[in-house]
Chain A
Amino acid sequence: MFDPQSPVFQAAIAPFVLSLILVGALFLLAGERYKRALAVCGAGAAVLVAYWLAFSWPAFPPRAASQKLAYLIALSTFLSLVLGSRALPGRIAAALPYIAVLLGLAWIAEPRINQGDFAGIALIAVIAMAGLYALGRRDDEPVDAGVAVLVFAFALAGIAFFAPSVSIAQLAGAIAAATGGYLLWTWPKRRLDFSVVGIMALATPLIWLAAQASLYSRASDAALGIAAAIALAPPLRAAIVRRQTLTTDTLRPIWTGMIAAAIGGAALAVASFNQTGASGYG
């Protein structure tokens, strides 16, 4: 179970434990002004370490999208630290995840751009922008955005597994585990923010990974499209579950999680139906 070469260790245990430690360390050690926002950067750093454990660090310049992701995750972790330290004006900070996602997407999609596949890439970009917007809309409910990222990461892992593309599934699992480590610090008792910092640290790499799955694996595009709707879980929860006794800080993320899981389940059902061949062999 603690074999460093084990995919379970690399994709689940290591990022979860590291995230718990790093998020906690940032929360406990950062100054009062920064700690609530900055702590989630620890989860991004845990994803970065999980990548290194699972795939080792790729040489520069990276050739494949999976190798580019290493540098992109390093960038998103760094930018999340910049955002968490409140070094940027509000509007620039709010725009940074959108800019980062688009630039990263262009880099990942470079071979497809060279082939002239603009429509597919534009569709991914539009869905990514909409997802970022939906996640960032309810800053007052930070755990809900984290829950949506957690469920989307699990859904992406499942969809990639059906493709089959185990390395994408493994990295999605690592993002889910790291997000879980963050969530344990802030639920059921709310302590931390998610905000634009969490979006940069966790949602942005997840979007790049989903783009890789869509562009270069046999992952079901229909399933990925459905899974993208998980970003709508927090606003959907707000529209569906309104009674005050059901929307406490403790209960609200559960509702959001249930809505997200229902969408994720539908995505996995479609992926299962469209599977080109799951890794059902040894």
Chain B
Amino acid sequence: MRIPTKHLAAALAVSLCASPAFTAEQFKIDPEHTMVVFFVDHFGYSNVFGRFNEFAGTFTFDPENVENSAIEMTIDAASVDTNHTRRDNHLRSPDFLNSEEFPEITFASKSVEKTGDKTGKVMGDITILGTTQPITLDVTFNKIAPHPIPSYNGAIVAGFSATAQLSRSAFGMTYAEGAVGDVLDLRFEVEGIQQ
């Protein structure tokens, strides 16, 4: 059967419009707009909030096939910041993060599962104090679009929010178990710039 050229051109145009605007691409985590935050129980009274200020990483994101996405991240353990210098120095000590001996916290995804239009689970391995444990992040995809600020020169930016929990004792961090909770609530707010 012969397809008229004008029909073929129309079909191609429709196909292009319907195809994903963004295919799987590599993104570099933007440290200025990414937050790695944790909350941990303090004697049951409240949750102390802290964050890591230094980190780096990349992710691959495919909006049409999120299962093809992946993320790797390295966090500088010594960059822990709870807005209290004495406590931060203690957190860097061998009692907690032992940042002189284990300067890096790493996360590498192993698989991604789509759970909704804008939600998914990222399964991966997190390494703290030299011990690797599996972790699952509940991720919400927020937005992918060219950045509106001119200085970005139209760079594509993707943004996510993620939460997870981990047990610090599973990594051998057992100091002050009665005072400082075992379970940490983690929250990641991530923006990545397409490379």
Chain A positions near chain B (C-beta within 8 angstroms): 5, 55-56, 58-59, 63-67, 111, 163-168, 212, 215-218, 276-282
Contact = CB atoms under 8 A, between A and B. Distances in A.
11 contacts: A64-B94, A64-B101, A64-B129, A67-B172, A166-B93, A166-B176, A216-B100, A277-B89, A277-B90, A281-B90, A282-B179
B85 interface: yes
A63 B87 contact: no
A111 B86 contact: no
B178 A5 contact: yes
Interface string B107-143: 0000000000000000000000111000000000000
Interface of B: 84-90, 92-95, 98, 100-102, 129-131, 172, 174-176, 178-179
A63 B95 contact: no
Contacts of B94: 64-66, 165, 167-168, 212, 216-217
A276 B98 contact: no
Contacts of B179: 282
B174 A55 contact: yes
Contacts of A279: 86, 90
A277 B175 CA distance: 18
List the 6 shortest-distance A-B pairs measured between CB atoms, nearest first.
A277-B86, A63-B130, A277-B89, A165-B93, A216-B101, A216-B100
Nearest to B85: A277
A163 B131 contact: no
A163 B93 CA distance: 8
A256 to B, nearest CB: 31
B84 A281 contact: yes
A58 B130 CA distance: 13
A217 B93 contact: yes
A67 B172 CA distance: 9
B89 A281 contact: no
Contacts of A65: 94, 101
A230 to B, nearest CB: 22
B178 A64 contact: no
Contact of A111 (B84, B101, B172): B101
Given A58-B172, A59-B172, 18 more contacts: A55-B174, A63-B102, A63-B130, A64-B101, A64-B102, A64-B130, A65-B101, A163-B89, A164-B89, A165-B95, A166-B93, A166-B95, A166-B175, A166-B176, A167-B95, A217-B94, A218-B92, A277-B87
